[in-house]
Structure 1
Amino acid sequence: MSAPVIVAAARSAIGTAGRSLAGVTADQLAGPVLAATLDRSGLAPEDVSDVVLGNCMGPGGDVARSASLAAGLPVTVPALTVDRQCASGLAAIDVAVSLVRGGASAVLAGGVESVSTAPWRHWPPVDGADPVRYERAPFAPAGWDDPEMGVANDLLAHEAGVTRERQDEYAARSHARAVAAREAGAFDAEVVAVAGVTRDDRPKATLTVDKLARLRPAFRDNGSVTAGNSCGISDGAAAVAVVDAATHERLGVPGLRILATATAGVEPSRPGRGLVPATRIALQRSGIGLDDLDAIEINEAFAGQVLACCDELGVDPLRVCAEGGALALGHPWGASGAVLVVRLFHQLVGSSIPKVRRRRRPEVRRRSLEGSLEGRLGLAAIAAGGGQGVAMVVQAC
């Protein structure tokens, strides 16, 4: 069976919650991104079989359907909203892959989050007391260890032996890389104007290790995770067009062939580890080794979490998020997994960004159902609340 191919990818700018995209609802964020992705793909609206979007905190009512209609897609195109928490956007693309393998010719998929406009919810009143605001979803049932994300990832970093100094260095580097990439125009081709916004809010040119070292622990006494080496809470949307091999051939455009995907579970008390087993499974299914990868996009929820996962996988952190990640750009929960794939698309397929091939291990035979794999290779991986992870291996074609 031929592997599905991503033929277009776009995202909005990523806005810090309450700032540049604060008044834009989830469907208003995703609609223009879906429309731009469709336009760039060369597909006609009637070619689209389905729309799948990840979302965590929206108003309900099937955000993907509302966004699809806002994008101008025909009413005959159905839509599905997926919630795998922070991995929702990548999970939505995985669903699209399954739909294409099942016979759909083209699916638009991605994710969206508008934290700024997410509705407030409240628990029902008990014994006549006032309603209590619903602050966050439980990631595990009652009786399970279910710490807040900051606490969980501070503990993960501590248990993995990741020092505060390494975390601050990684965070400063993420900002420096994102600023350099932005100034070099590396994001120009992927960012779609939404509400007139085309520039990510968060990357800071002035963020240094010395400045980060002055920040106090944010989640635990004597902890190592701070506001500076954590991601920002953000608004944003991202989407890709996934097509079958015949449609890819008809369109005659470059793309990313999806070689393998994987989803895995870990202990809910350490959700940040979820991307580790997912990555291992996806690589094993693809027949690709870590040394073969040209681009690695891991969602940077916390510097300590990324470093702990890199250490466990045996990945040099310098290879991760070469143009900055969520620590610098921000983390729009339901969209972040799709943002990773958009970043891979423009790094691996875009001709304006030079690439350096990595030395290949001689014992690795890179084969698949498609035959010889000569294209540049990439990995997207993200962890999610509840102790889950999603990973995807792609090849430029």
Structure 2
Amino acid sequence: MKHCYVVAAKRTAVVPRGGAFNHLQADELAAPVISALLEELPEAGGHVDQIIMGNALYGGGNPARLAALRAGIPEGVPALTLDTQCCAGMDAVRLGANFIRTGEARAAIVGGLESYSRSPIRSKRPMNKDDKAEPYLRPPFTPWAERDPDMVASAGDLSAELNCSREDQEKYAQRSHEKSLASQGFILKQIVPVEGVTSDKFTRRLSPSLLKKLPVVYGKEPYELTSATIAVEADAAAALLLVSEDVFEKLGGAGCLIEHSVSVGTDPAKPALSPLNAIQTCIKKADIELSDIALFEMMEAFALQGVLLERFLGEQASHKLNKWGGALSRGHPIGASGAINLVHMFHQLVDMPKGARGLASIAAAGGLGSALMLKAFGK
């Protein structure tokens, strides 16, 4: 099996639903990111022979193709959109890596694109001509209604089951915002300006007094979930440039090796546990120790997930988690979130010693989890 490398990674800012990106379709967000990747490494452009993007809310079609054409990718280069909900952006990277490892592609642009603001209003077609269309908010993620819970309710019930209090979760959310505020210089090199927006718009200072005043979204004391401990719906796009070993060497051998990746299935009624399961599976597959990982990037759909991973990592390693903040302090653009985590991880690893490893993970409705391990390979 051949090797696959990441040589560039970019994203838009993450903007809450209804904000500065509210008039842009998902493909319109992604096109500038794709263009920026090729501007950064123009010598790689002629090798790109596959575009793969994750998306969850577009409503059909193939937005990856639209984004590629908008970005000026030659018409002869195919594009593919996949949907594994929140895992989609990371799964697009996993799939693109396999295209390269098998020799089907020499270079690929992969990632995720999402617009909550422009997502379609959904309804089921009437079965009879006299019936009305039946609106719905989301499709089913399992065939069993009793095991297909609302995501917020599932996280809230799990918080009580695992003794993860509102206070624990609020402290984690506060740290996420603090780390994101401290990362402004770091993220400048990864964000592609769109509509003049060059920073994540949800990040703010959270005080204990403010957190205490927030109304309860779900749950009973002391395990309540609030708006601070649930990631806000958002718009964004992210993309990475993957190349084969021969192209990597032609480009100078700077970037990260995609060392391992996994997709796991877990209890559909408890999807928040999927990132931890994916991490454990990926480490086992790599045959390394937890201590061999220099940094972790986990999608914070809920503060609960961050608290659980910190408990798993222990006091000696929890500082490695989401060093520059997470989705609680940015927002959650479903199909793009996994790719955004990888963009963050790539930009941290390229400044670390050769051989340093990073592990990213994300969960999706229906009990799915994905994880991907990158290894620094020099500058």
Both proteins in one fold, TM over 0.5 = yes
Cα deviations by residue, 1:315-340 (Å, 9 ceiling, x for unpaired) = 74432111110000111100000001
In structure 1, the partner of 2:364 is 384
AA of the residue aligned to 1:198 = T
For residue 191 of structure 1, give the secondary structure of its aligned residue in structure 2.
coil
Distance 1:253 1:191 in 2: 23
In structure 1, the partner of 2:216 is 217
In structure 2, the partner of 1:264 is 264
In structure 2, the partner of 1:117 is 118
Q: How do 1:240-251 residues align onto structure 2 when only pairs under 5 Å count?
A: 240-251=240-251
Deviation at 1:283? 1.3
In structure 1, the partner of 2:15 is 15
Matched, 1:172 2:152: no
Contact 1:35 / 1:72 at 8 angstroms: preserved in 2? yes
Higher mean Cα deviation, 216-225 or 259-268? 216-225
In structure 2, the partner of 1:234 is 234
Q: How do 1:37-76 residues align onto structure 2 when only pairs under 5 Å count?
A: 37-76=37-76
In structure 2, the partner of 1:147 is 149
In structure 2, the partner of 1:301 is 301
For residue 218 of structure 1, give the secondary structure of its aligned residue in structure 2.
strand
Deviation at 1:157? 1.8
AA of the residue aligned to 1:121 = R
Deviation at 1:144? 3.9
Cα deviations by residue, 1:127-167 (Å, 9 ceiling, x for unpaired) = 64432322112111134421111111112222121121110
Give me the TM-score of the superposition, normalised by structure 1: 0.90
Q: Where do 5+ consecutive residues of structure 1 fail to align?
A: 358-373
Deviation at 1:309? 3.8
Distance 2:277 2:176 in 1: 24
For residue 38 of structure 1, give the secondary structure of its aligned residue in structure 2.
helix
Distance 1:215 1:237 in 2: 30
Deviation at 1:77? 0.3
For residue 196 of structure 1, give the secondary structure of its aligned residue in structure 2.
coil
For residue 209 of structure 2, give the secondary structure of its aligned residue in structure 1.
helix
Contact 1:17 / 1:115 at 8 angstroms: preserved in 2? yes
Contact 2:12 / 2:192 at 8 angstroms: preserved in 1? yes
Higher mean Cα deviation, 308-317 or 106-115? 308-317
Contact 1:45 / 1:74 at 8 angstroms: preserved in 2? no
Distance 1:270 1:314 in 2: 22
In structure 1, the partner of 2:165 is 163
Distance 1:328 1:273 in 2: 21
Contact 1:41 / 1:241 at 8 angstroms: preserved in 2? no
Higher mean Cα deviation, 103-112 or 35-44? 35-44
Contact 2:236 / 2:336 at 8 angstroms: preserved in 1? yes
AA of the residue aligned to 1:172 = Q
Identical counterparts, % of pairs: 36
In structure 1, the partner of 2:140 is 138
Contact 1:157 / 1:305 at 8 angstroms: preserved in 2? no
Count of aligned positions: 373
> Residues 270 and 191 of structure 1: is their aligned pair in 2 closer, same or farther, counting only changes over 3 Å?
same
For residue 281 of structure 2, give the secondary structure of its aligned residue in structure 1.
helix
Deviation at 1:220? 2.8
In structure 1, the partner of 2:26 is 26
Deviation at 1:308? 2.2
Higher mean Cα deviation, 85-94 or 291-300? 291-300
Distance 1:7 1:42 in 2: 12
Cα deviations by residue, 1:245-285 (Å, 9 ceiling, x for unpaired) = 11101100410101100010001100111112211121122
Contact 1:225 / 1:304 at 8 angstroms: preserved in 2? no
> Residues 194 and 331 of structure 1: is their aligned pair in 2 closer, same or farther, counting only changes over 3 Å?
same
For residue 231 of structure 1, give the secondary structure of its aligned residue in structure 2.
coil
Deviation at 1:290? 1.8
